[in-house]
Amino acid sequence: MVFSSVEFLYFYLPAVIALYCVCPRRFRNALLFATGLVFYAFGEPIYVFVLLLSCLIDYFAGIIMAKYSERPKIRKVCLIISLALNLGLLGVFKYTPFIIRNINAVFGTSFSTALPLPIGISFFTFQSMSYAIDLYRGEIGVQRSFIDFSAYVTMFPQIVAGPIVRYKDVESELADRRVTVIGFSDGVSRFVRGLAKKVLLANNIGALWEEVKAADYSALPALTAWLGIVAFTLQIYFDFSGYSDMAIGLGKMLGFSFPENFDHPYVSKSVREFWRRWHITLGQWFKNYVYIPLCGSREGIAKTVRNLAVVWLLTGLWHGASWNFVLWGVWFGALIIAERLFLGKLLEKLPGFFGWLYTMLAVVLGWVLFDTESIASAFGFIGAMFGAGGSFSDVHSFWLLCEYSPIISLCIFFASQAPGNFRARLESRFEGLGLRADVFRLAEPLITLVFLAASTAYLVNQSYNPFLYFNF
């Protein structure tokens, strides 16, 4: 994908930013639309038409709803058609192979399941749908310019892996925004920080998971299994939060303020808290468009449990079309329901460490389901974590531990709140000397340059550079 190439960093992205900055304001949305299509076409030259179709569906849905603003039945039918078409596209491309695989397994048939998944279809479909739903609710005004609406849907910084930006988040900025020196500088710093998280941390720790994941789980020592899944736990955080940082940073360079998507999720002391901190925009999407319309927690505990179960079943399916993702959603849904019913009160009475330990164990076990090929392999790996492989460790386990301990330690440090606390203490100390502003004004560009140089060097010399959430 283009975000993972040196050519993108040094040619495409700078050219787009430069052209955007000199472009007259009235043409900037058209430029965003065009560059979004070009960016998407780098990875999906054919499926760019699916992206355009998604734009057309909700744009015309909005125009018709605005035209018949005094006809609620027509507006409702229009919304239903829009949702059916959007979800139909998502269903055809994302879930048809899953359905066919299960038909083949049950009936012994051999129908082909070869249907490539458009990159980021779950993200841009949800984003486009939010416009039609919010317009129907009367929360936003209609966008009569197809170019402006499509610029919102196809905006290249976050089109393929979020954060999921609702139209109401950027409605005013689509109409009028300014690129300031401070905003641009902050955006560059945020983008490079995300790039460093992705290529320096996620990629390096991910190599450990790739090695462990390929092993024979029936003979896998417990220590090796734990090292592997801890590696993936850190990899997926730095991979996805790194991309979100890059998207938010690019948005700042273009004059947009995208919502935050992560808030130190691995410091959470409950699963509910974890999901308030992880992929924040997805959680808010399901809350606004599924949980609350189902009446949320307003009609008694039985319906609250039902509503949470529906949300988490859909959350699992949103992430992928396999039984692993279904079970992953069920796992977290069950834990969140348990916390709502009784477990949350128990956790509040315990020391915070025990809440954190329970949460991390739940999350780590969930990640096993998330990134193994089948439910059988997931349970095989979990068994190895708890000794089913026949041993606690072997020579290879200690070799992996010695080799990857530095990067594991570094990842844990940056996944915690320690860097922010350290900076706050430094700022407080320098403030007393009257040097805070000067020191950090000089230090931040230097740190940014170091991160950019190190990330570029890595991209030049390494071929392992997956973006995990591009698959969703």
How far is C-alpha 346 from the geometric centre of its chain's CA atoms? Answer: 31
Three-state SS for 439? helix
Q: Report H helices in 47-120.
A: 48-67, 72-107
In the set 264, 279, 319, 396, the catalytic residue is 319
The dihedral through the CA atoms of 329, 335, 340, 341 has a sign that is positive
Cα–Cα distance measured from residue 146 to residue 168, given in angstroms and rounded to the nearest whole number: 16
Asked if 113 and 101 count as a contact pair (C-beta separation under 8 A), the reply is: yes
Asked if 261 and 244 count as a contact pair (C-beta separation under 8 A), the reply is: yes
Residue found under tokens 């990067």:
407
Asked if 369 and 232 count as a contact pair (C-beta separation under 8 A), the reply is: no
Asked if 206 and 231 count as a contact pair (C-beta separation under 8 A), the reply is: yes
Nearest Cα to 463, choosing from 6, 45, 21?
Answer: 6
Residue 90's identity, in one-letter code, is L
Nearest Cα to 443, choosing from 433, 459, 430?
Answer: 430
Structure tokens at 179: 């690129």
User: Active-site residue 319, yes or no?
Assistant: yes
Asked if 277 and 415 count as a contact pair (C-beta separation under 8 A), the reply is: no
Q: Write the CA distances from 10 to 5, 36, 80, 459, integer angstroms.
A: 9, 17, 44, 12
Cα–Cα distance measured from residue 47 to residue 111, given in angstroms and rounded to the nearest whole number: 23
Structure tokens at 352: 């915070």
Q: Write the CA distances from 146 to 63, 143, 152, 267, 430, integer angstroms.
A: 10, 8, 10, 43, 51
Q: Write the CA distances from 274 to 157, 264, 286, 434, integer angstroms.
A: 25, 9, 16, 38
Q: What angle do CA 450, 178, 195 make, to 5 degrees?
A: 25
Cα–Cα distance measured from residue 115 to residue 96, given in angstroms and rounded to the nearest whole number: 8
Residue 303's identity, in one-letter code, is K
Number of neighbours of residue 159 by Cβ within 10 angstroms: 21
Structure tokens at 214: 């390929």
- Mind telling me the catalytic residues? 319
